[in-house]
């Protein structure tokens, strides 16, 4: 009997979390081996290791507690990776040397698998004087471009691209350029961007007052606050960015307000952190804690939840000691404050199981009650750890109890903290759980509503045949098992049928008891008016949220999976989403057709020859392998490596056109070259251009920047203007990428831009 509730769950485990040897053979034979590996690793720091290993295993078993992907994939492997998900880097100095020192630190952090956040408000604006060199400053946006290019070249541990968050204060002189920077689809694509909104600015917006843009005490411009707010809103309306972070509220509600100031967050926004701040994540799977689901006596087992929370807090506290850190400053920061981010997933499924409609007043009240229980259990568990192992080093009882979220905590909890201290300065956070929610059986992610009751994914087999799998929401599957084919009740709702105000209501209800922040996407209909859209953000401000992220499908950001609004119908499927996932590479025929391209790089004595061979699958031609040759022996190692890596990607199938995009984005710090009237930033970019030429010629791509033209495994056009689709997933090829908790996420394979 498998522990996995769906085939996709097992595939996610195999691709992302299963420990394998260098040759690909699995070290974790079963998911039980994965749980055992994690439990044993996190129990090493305990005095009674055997006892706590069993306790930790019990929490992991059957996906009740879900450590974030970094922990699940990295704990107990012996590999040089960080188990922390979130980092905010050091304050960027306003000097060239300091800026590039920070760039180096960012590269080292992403190399070990950390997502990072930066506040670029500390860099002087474009056009400001640079003393001593008789020049004008290029401004923070120019350096963000450098960060972006660096990030493209760093492959994070665990085969994930690095993700970055850039923030800028609403009073920085370059804020208007920052707001519109991502309207250029080719710029800053490795960043999420958010504006740091102050209380004073919101008051000026409401009063229709003026607003000074200033740096280092000098006022550069004065604008109308409402005009600037409208520019933020218009960019978000059109391009889904920037996000909005209510930074004064974050600092006011910070338990550590007495010893740190926050100016940035991690890439998904759920972890506001100080300079060099780090946080690890994990989620309680609420869908696994409901007794008598869909029956009259359905209830979330609060006793079981409190015990699970206590165990999870101890496990996550141990991660602080078990993890490596890319930088010594990050290790010191983590050790001094021992921050953890325990959250939830499967909230929407749990609400359905007890008969509540997500977004209703009753559901918001229940969410408030459940998350208060989790907060209490977390804090009391951390007090018990403090009794046994000591409080976090920067703990100051009076200052701590009079800071942030502690002011609203129950008196009995406050009394315990005052007497015994607390092990972890902050304990709760609600993270994006897109991949781990699939791994746990496709439970609803984080505190999001169910996105789709079901959808179809097509799997290409090695022999060329295709099988079709239905991926069903966990609660819907449980309903089917208990109730058969009876219609879903009226309280079953999904992300597309909810009013934006219902999303805000749920976010605000959850935020009350979360001492960090929440990663939440408020889905807005495509036809929402601009005024109504702006009102969503005002509602978030008025209801006490720490930030706001929306997603409105449009021509720029793409559409989402189509979802049925008929709750009486069978769970819907996205009929057009053909997912191509190959468990094994395609076999190579004896002969292949191909083309060879000659690349002559200026100032290079020898040309590079690129050969691309194609295979016929389903009657269509697709790339299968490449060979890169040059007589220049300085090129030998990287051309061989590139040959092998690109060929391996091509043989896995799906939409592999992202290889072109990645190569064309590589820049050479020594400078590129002008070829045929076009600037090429590097030899690798030239190879990417040649690959693009080939893929266009065989009909695999439409043309420069247009992506996949035809699905080579199916006799059909994949672009259907009559049926909205999401963007193609660069990992598996499904046309269903959607915004989930601040990240473009694939519902089929779990790939996401930021994890």
CA 698 to chain centre: 34
500-511 and 361-389 helices, crossing angle to 10°: 30
Q: Which of 268, 524, 545, 548 is catalytic?
A: 268
Alpha carbon separation from 359 to 297, 445, 749 (Å, rounded): 22, 15, 28
Q: Is 61 one of the catalytic residues?
A: no
Q: Which of 85, 254, 255, 266 is catalytic?
A: 266
Q: Is 270 one of the catalytic residues?
A: yes
738 φ/ψ sector (left φ>0, alpha ψ -120 to 50, else beta):
beta
**566: its two tokens:** 């008929």
Task: Kindly provide the b/e burial profile for residues 321-342, where b requires at least 16 CB atoms within 10 angstroms of the residue's own CB.
Answer: ebbebbbebbbebbebbbbbbb
Alpha carbon separation from 536 to 180, 222, 269 (Å, rounded): 20, 26, 18
- Gyration radius (Cα) of the chain, Å: 26
* Neighbouring-strand partners of residue 608: 599, 630
Cβ atoms within 10 Å, residue 167: 26
Is residue 242 reached through a cis peptide bond, with omega within 30 degrees of 0 on the bond before it? Answer: yes
**182: its two tokens:** 């991502």
677 φ/ψ sector (left φ>0, alpha ψ -120 to 50, else beta):
left
* Burial (Cβ within 10 Å: 0-12, 13-18, ≥19) of residue 493: buried
Could you tell me where the DSSP H helices lie in 125-198? Answer: 140-153, 175-180
Could you tell me where the DSSP H helices lie in 402-542? Answer: 411-420, 434-439, 474-483, 500-511, 530-542
Alpha carbon separation from 158 to 60, 267, 326, 440 (Å, rounded): 21, 17, 15, 19
261: Cβ contacts below 8 Å, ≥ 6 apart: 251, 274
Q: Which long-range contacts (CB under 8 A, 24 or more apart) does 456-459 make?
A: 456/573, 456/574, 456/575, 456/577, 457/8, 457/577, 457/579, 457/581, 457/734, 457/748, 458/578, 458/579, 458/580, 459/579, 459/580, 459/581
**What is d(CA 343, CA 17) in angstroms, rounded to the nearest whole number?**
20
What letter would DSSP give residue 183? G
Q: Angle at CA 450, nearest 5°, toward 449 and 452?
A: 140
**198: its two tokens:** 């102050």
CA neighbours closer than 13 Å in the CB half-sphere of residue 341: 30
CA neighbours closer than 13 Å in the CB half-sphere of residue 641: 5
| Spatial CA neighbour of 80 closest among 88, 70, 89, 90 | 70
Q: Is 54 one of the catalytic residues?
A: no
**What is d(CA 422, CA 393) in angstroms, rounded to the nearest whole number?**
10
Specify the pairing of strand 86-88 against strand 278-285.
Answer: antiparallel
Q: Which of 270, 416, 448, 662 is catalytic?
A: 270
Task: Kindly provide the b/e burial profile for residues 56-68, where b requires at least 16 CB atoms within 10 angstroms of the residue's own CB.
Answer: bbbbbbebbbbbb
CA 542 to chain centre: 27
Place of tokens 């993890």: 323
DSSP 613-649: EEEEETTEEEEEEEEEEES-GGGHHHHHHHHHHHHHH
**What is d(CA 26, CA 46) in angstroms, rounded to the nearest whole number?**
28
Which positions are annotated as active-site residues?
266, 268, 270
């Amino acid at each position: 009997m498998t522990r996995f509730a769906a085939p996709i769950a097992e595939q996610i485990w195999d691709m992302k979390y299963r420990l394998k040897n260098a040759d690909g053979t699995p070290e974790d034979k079963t998911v039980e081996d994965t749980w055992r590996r994690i439990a044993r690793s996190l129990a090493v720091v305990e005095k009674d290791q055997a006892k706590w290993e069993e306790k930790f295993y019990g929490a992991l078993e059957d996906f009740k507690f879900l450590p974030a992907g970094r922990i699940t994939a990295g704990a107990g492997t012996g590999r040089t990776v960080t188990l922390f998900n979130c980092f905010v880097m050091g304050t960027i100095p306003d000097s060239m040397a300091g800026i590039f020192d920070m760039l180096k630190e960012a590269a080292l952090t992403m190399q070990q698998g950390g997502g990072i956040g930066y506040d670029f408000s500390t860099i002087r604006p474009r056009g400001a004087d640079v003393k001593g060199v008789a020049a004008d400053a290029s401004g923070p946006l120019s350096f963000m471009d450098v960060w972006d290019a660096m990030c493209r070249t760093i492959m994070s541990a665990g085969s994930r691209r690095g993700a970055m968050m850039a923030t800028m204060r609403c009073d920085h002189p370059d804020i208007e350029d920052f707001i519109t920077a991502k309207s250029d689809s080719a710029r800053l694509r490795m960043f999420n961007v958010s504006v740091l909104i102050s209380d004073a600015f919101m008051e000026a917006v409401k009063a229709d007052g003026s607003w000074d843009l200033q740096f280092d005490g000098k006022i550069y411009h004065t604008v109308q606050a409402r005009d600037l707010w409208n520019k933020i809103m218009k960019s978000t309306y059109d391009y889904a960015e920037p996000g909005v972070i209510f930074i004064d509220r974050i600092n006011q509600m910070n338990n550590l307000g007495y010893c740190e100031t926050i100016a940035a967050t991690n890439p998904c926004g759920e972890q506001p952190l100080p300079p060099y701040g780090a946080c690890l994540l994990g989620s309680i799977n609420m869908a696994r804690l409901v007794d008598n689901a869909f029956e009259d006596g359905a209830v979330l087992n609060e006793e079981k939840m409190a015990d699970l929370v206590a165990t999870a807090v101890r496990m996550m506290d141990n991660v602080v000691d078990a993890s490596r850190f890319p930088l010594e400053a990050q290790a010191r920061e983590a050790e001094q404050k021992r921050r953890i981010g325990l959250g939830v997933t499967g909230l929407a499924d749990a609400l359905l199981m007890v008969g509540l409609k997500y977004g209703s007043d009753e559901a918001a009240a229940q969410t408030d009650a459940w998350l208060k229980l989790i907060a209490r259990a977390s804090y009391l568990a951390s007090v018990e750890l403090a009794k046994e192992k000591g409080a976090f080093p920067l703990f100051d009882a009076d200052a701590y109890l009079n800071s942030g979220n502690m002011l609203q905590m129950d008196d009995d909890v406050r009394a315990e903290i005052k007497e015994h201290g607390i092990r972890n300065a902050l304990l709760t956070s609600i993270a994006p759980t897109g991949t781990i929610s699939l791994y746990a059986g496709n439970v609803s992610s984080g505190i999001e509503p169910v996105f789709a009751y079901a959808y179809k994914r097509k799997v290409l087999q090695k022999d060329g045949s295709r099988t079709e799998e239905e991926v069903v929401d966990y609660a819907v599957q449980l309903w089917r098992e208990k109730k058969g084919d009876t219609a879903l009740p009226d309280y079953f709702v999904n992300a597309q049928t909810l009013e934006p105000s219902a999303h805000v209501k749920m976010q605000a209800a959850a935020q009350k008891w979360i001492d960090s922040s929440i990663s939440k996407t408020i889905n807005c209909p495509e036809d929402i008016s601009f005024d109504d859209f702006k009102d969503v953000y005002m509602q978030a401000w008025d209801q006490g949220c720490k930030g706001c992220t929306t997603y409105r499908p449009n021509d720029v950001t793409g559409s989402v999976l189509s979802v049925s609004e008929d709750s009486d119908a069978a769970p819907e499927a996205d009929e057009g989403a053909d997912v191509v996932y190959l468990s094994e590479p395609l076999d190579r025929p004896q002969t292949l057709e191909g083309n060879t391209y000659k690349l002559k790089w200026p100032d290079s004595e020898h040309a590079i020859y690129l050969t691309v061979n194609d295979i016929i699958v389903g009657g269509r031609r697709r790339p299968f392998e490449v060979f890169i040759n040059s007589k220049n022996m300085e090129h030998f190692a990287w051309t061989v490596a590139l040959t092998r890596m690109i060929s391996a990607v091509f043989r896995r199938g799906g939409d592999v056109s992202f290889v072109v995009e990645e190569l064309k984005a590589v820049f050479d710090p020594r400078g590129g070259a002008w070829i045929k009237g076009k600037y090429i930033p590097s030899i690798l970019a030239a190879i990417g251009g040649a690959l693009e030429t080939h893929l266009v010629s065989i009909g695999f791509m439409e043309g420069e920047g247009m992506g996949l033209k035809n699905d080579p495994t199916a006799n059909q056009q994949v672009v259907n203007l009559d049926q909205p689709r999401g963007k193609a997933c660069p990992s598996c090829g499904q046309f269903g990428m959607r915004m989930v908790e601040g990240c473009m996420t694939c519902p089929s394979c779990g790939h996401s831009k930021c994890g």
